[in-house]
Structure 1
Amino acid sequence: MDLHAPLAAILEALERPSSGSSDFDLNPGVVLPEGRKLRPAAVLVALMERHGELQVILTKRSSALKHHPGQIAFPGGKVDASDKDVAAAALREAREEIGLDPANVEILGALPSHETVTGFAVTPVLGRVRDDFIPIPEPGEVAEMFFVPFAHVSDPANFSVQSRRWRGQRRRYYTVPYGPYYIWGATARILRGLADRLP
């Protein structure tokens, strides 16, 4: 497979102007307080060429975590004061969570920030992993690292909208299941945002 086309499409998508996304996009009835303070965070949308196709690295969070246990996520976390920028934060978190060397990642760009229900402004940083690597999941944070074909998560037809009760209200959210993995919430919303920007 020629991998130039999907990478070129991603670079083109990153150049397109657009507003940020939110966990509340599908819930227009939710009134958010004016002047709310969001904490900066970053995730690495790591793209890697495997088995002749472009794939995305995702993790399954440890069931022992206090927040979002067992959920599917990108490597990432809060931006620390020592981080030069959001890309540095995403790379640092990926090294800590899955053992990915920052020197092995070519930063392609970033999507507009995504506001989460937990009060974070998350910047999705896209990067291409140059060479294969041996993942070293941090057992306190990551139960598993796995790959999903980019073709699967970049096709809007693979997404659906589901709902559940949250804080006494019905909340709608995107899902993009893959095999045994139930990808939903902020991770699915970020992927859907990228899919919608592709030419």
Structure 2
Amino acid sequence: MTALLSDDTASALRRALARPGAPSSDFDLNPETVLEAGRILRPAGVLVPVQLDGAAPRVILTKRSSLLRHHPGQIAFPGGKQDESDPDVTAAALREAREEIGLPEMGAEVLGHLPAHETVTGFRVTPVVAVIREDFPIIPEPGEVEEVFSVPLSHLLDPANYLIESRLWRGVRRHYFIVPWGPYYIWGATARMLRALAERMAP
């Protein structure tokens, strides 16, 4: 990709992130859900890393280890809960990306944030969108990350690639977005946050 195209992608993302937008949640497709009043959500940050060093922009994602207690085998962004040592959710997302995939501390150029996303597990997750302009050696965190892969940004920005599926969760049928890519089943909160980005980037 030429420097001009890289700058065009970064500029388009900045403009999209500057647009107003509402928060999202795992309950968007389940309006009948009654949420507890006064619930306390734990802050978390995830990195949406857009690689600009190849022929076309791609988004880095991880496949969580099948041995994990929570969300085993699911597709996710690098990221996690905000620790006491993290000054904010952006710092949490960058720290987790360093730990989970080996992204150097200065390797990500943060462009902005999407509105926070509420999960069924009680987190308020802030997606931190960043561009990665240079290649780096990917080092999956042993025991937590089974695989690191990337998906063309163009695929994730096409609303036609998003479908709605459902399954029983705690005895209740829950609907959610999916955006499949090859052998990867991207669904739930990750797919919902990606769709929020696609909505922002729409002409």
Place the TM-score, normalised by the shorter chain, in its bin: over 0.9
1-side partners of 2:139 and 2:39: how far apart? 37
Q: Which moved more, 1:98-107 or 1:171-180?
A: 98-107
Q: What's the offset of the Cα at 1:3?
A: 3.4
Answer whether contact 2:75 2:185 (CA < 8 A) is retained. Answer: yes
Partner of 2:8: 5
* Shift in alpha-carbon separation, 1:158–1:14, aligned structure 2, 3 A: same
Matching of residue 62 in structure 1 with residue 65 in structure 2: yes
Partner of 2:25: 22
1-side partners of 2:54 and 2:109: how far apart? 20
2-side partners of 1:104 and 1:96: how far apart? 13
1-side partners of 2:57 and 2:176: how far apart? 26
Q: 3-state SS of the aligned residue for 1:102? A: coil
Q: 3-state SS of the aligned residue for 1:170? A: strand
Q: Name the TM-score, length of structure 1 as normaliser.
A: 0.97
Answer whether contact 2:10 2:111 (CA < 8 A) is retained. Answer: no
Q: 3-state SS of the aligned residue for 1:104? A: coil
Structure 1: state its 5+ residue gaps: none
Partner of 1:77: 80
Partner of 1:168: 171
Partner of 1:51: 54
2-side partners of 1:147 and 1:118: how far apart? 26
CA RMSD of aligned residues (A): 1.0
Structure 2: state its 5+ residue gaps: none
1-side partners of 2:97 and 2:11: how far apart? 24
Q: How many residues align?
A: 199
Q: What's the offset of the Cα at 1:130?
A: 2.3
2-side partners of 1:99 and 1:78: how far apart? 18
Between the aligned residues of both structures, percent identity stands at 63
Q: Name the TM-score, length of structure 2 as normaliser.
A: 0.95
Q: Which moved more, 1:36-45 or 1:48-57?
A: 48-57
Answer whether contact 2:179 2:185 (CA < 8 A) is retained. Answer: yes
- The C-alpha deviation readout for 1:82-114, integer Å capped at 9, x for no partner, is 111111110000011011112111111111100
1-side partners of 2:95 and 2:57: how far apart? 23
Q: 3-state SS of the aligned residue for 1:36? A: coil
Answer whether contact 2:53 2:134 (CA < 8 A) is retained. Answer: no
Partner of 2:156: 153
Matching of residue 181 in structure 1 with residue 184 in structure 2: yes
Q: 3-state SS of the aligned residue for 2:49? A: strand
Matching of residue 112 in structure 1 with residue 127 in structure 2: no
Pairing partner for 2:96 from 72, 87, 93? 93
Q: 3-state SS of the aligned residue for 1:103? A: coil
